[in-house]
Amino acid sequence: MSFLEIKNIFKSFGKTEVLKGIDFSMERGEVLAIIGSSGSGKTTLLRCINFLETPDTGMISVNGNVLFNSDESPYSDAEKREKRLHFGLVFQQFNLFPQYNVLRNVSLAPNLRQIKGKKLSKTEKKEIKKQIDDNSRRLLDTVGLSDKVNNFPCELSGGQQQRVAIARALALNPDILCFDEPTSALDPELTGEVLRVIRELKTSDRTMIVVTHEMNFARGVADKVIFMADGVIEEYGTPDEVFGAPKSEKTKSFLEKSLENP
């Protein structure tokens, strides 16, 4: 059994069928790039995996644990919260919390998880807080922002904000880190720093799914590539297979167009 298994995901919004039967699997430590034109269902797929949308049918499992199965009764909010923590998500628009400084953006969620509602002595709380702070600083160092811990998001460039968002997603140590077009909202000169950080995470054995329009990045960094079109996986394979020798006509024409307007 693979680390991540996605089976037969269907999702409609009203009468619009967005996902029409998605199946794929990933191994631990793999980086998967999902490419495809706008409206092909890439983002919806990622949102289904992160429990922001509920698939109409299908099954999702990580490391043998079934996290979603449409045959089971709907999950409670508390169940969903536990399940979704197997995944982290970095948004296209960063969605940092503007009122908190960079460090607090990263440490807020771990603090809420590990301290709120638990019976802990003051010293225990202090100890945990310190660990979380240290870990947050370490993560911010990993994304190259150790000098910005006290700044507010509005004081950072888009690229820096997105790197904070990556550190924030890592802070809960998810099994699989997802990126929803992480560079699409950035000025062209800022995409490099974000892609570099993602590339560096790969070497640390992270399992990642990256929805992206950056073909060079997909080709250079991903272990596997999925090309989506009209709600189905049109092509799946290694970057060399998908970019070098695409089988489907749709993939070919998409790649031709993307290379014309990189």
Partner 1 sequence: MSFWDVTRQLADGFGITLLIFGITLAASLPLGLIITFGSMSKIPPIKWITKVFVWIIRGTPLMLQIILIFYGPGLLNWDVKLPRLTAVLIAFVINYSCYFSEIYRGGIESISKGQYEAGQVLGMTKTQIFFKIVLFQVIKRIVPPMGNEIITLVKDTSLARVIAVAELVKAAENIISVKGIIWPLFYVGAFYLLFSALLTFLLNFAEKKMNYYSG
User: Distance between CA atoms of 233 and 20, rounded to whole angstroms?
Assistant: 9
- Asked if residue 245 binds partner 1 (CB under 8 A), the reply is no
> Which CA distances in Å does 172 have to 89, 96, 102, 137, 194?
11, 15, 16, 14, 20
User: Distance between CA atoms of 33 and 222, rounded to whole angstroms?
Assistant: 6
Q: Which is nearer to partner 1, 137 or 168 (CB)?
A: 168
Q: Which is nearer to partner 1, 168 or 224 (CB)?
A: 168
66, 128, 172, 232: which one contacts partner 1 (CB under 8 A)? 172
4: tokens are: 């991540």
- Asked if residue 93 binds partner 1 (CB under 8 A), the reply is yes
32, 33, 42, 87: which one contacts partner 1 (CB under 8 A)? 87
The answer for 31, left when phi > 0, alpha when psi is -120 to 50, beta otherwise, is beta
Query: Taking the complex as a whole, how short is the minimal distance between the CB of residue 66 and partner 1, in angstroms?
Result: 19
Query: Which span (24-32, 167-175, 188-196, 246-254) binds partner 1, by CB under 8 A?
Result: 167-175
The set of residues, in sequence order, having a beta carbon less than 8 Å from that of 34 and lying 6+ positions away, is: 42, 45, 46, 209, 210, 211, 212, 225, 226, 228
Amino acid letter for position 246: P
8, 65, 99, 216: which one contacts partner 1 (CB under 8 A)? 99
Query: Taking the complex as a whole, how short is the minimal distance between the CB of residue 236 and partner 1, in angstroms?
Result: 26
Q: Is 144 exposed, middle or buried (0-12, 13-18, 19+ CB in 10 A)?
A: middle
By the 8 A CB rule, do 115 and 128 touch? yes
- Asked if residue 76 binds partner 1 (CB under 8 A), the reply is no
User: Distance between CA atoms of 99 and 226, rounded to whole angstroms?
Assistant: 37
User: What would the x/- binding string for partner 1 be over residues 195 to 234, using CB under 8 A?
Assistant: ----------------------------------------
Query: Taking the complex as a whole, how short is the minimal distance between the CB of residue 32 and partner 1, in angstroms?
Result: 18
39, 56, 109, 232: which one contacts partner 1 (CB under 8 A)? 109
Q: Regarding beta strands 176-180 and 207-211, do their DSSP bridges make them parallel or antiparallel, or are they unpaired?
A: parallel
Query: Taking the complex as a whole, how short is the minimal distance between the CB of residue 241 and partner 1, in angstroms?
Result: 31
Amino acid letter for position 255: L
User: Distance between CA atoms of 249 and 243, rounded to whole angstroms?
Assistant: 12
Q: Which is nearer to partner 1, 76 or 123 (CB)?
A: 76
Residue numbers at the binding site for partner 1 (CB under 8 A): 50-52, 77, 81-82, 84-85, 87-89, 91, 93, 95-99, 108-109, 112-113, 116, 152-154, 168-169, 172
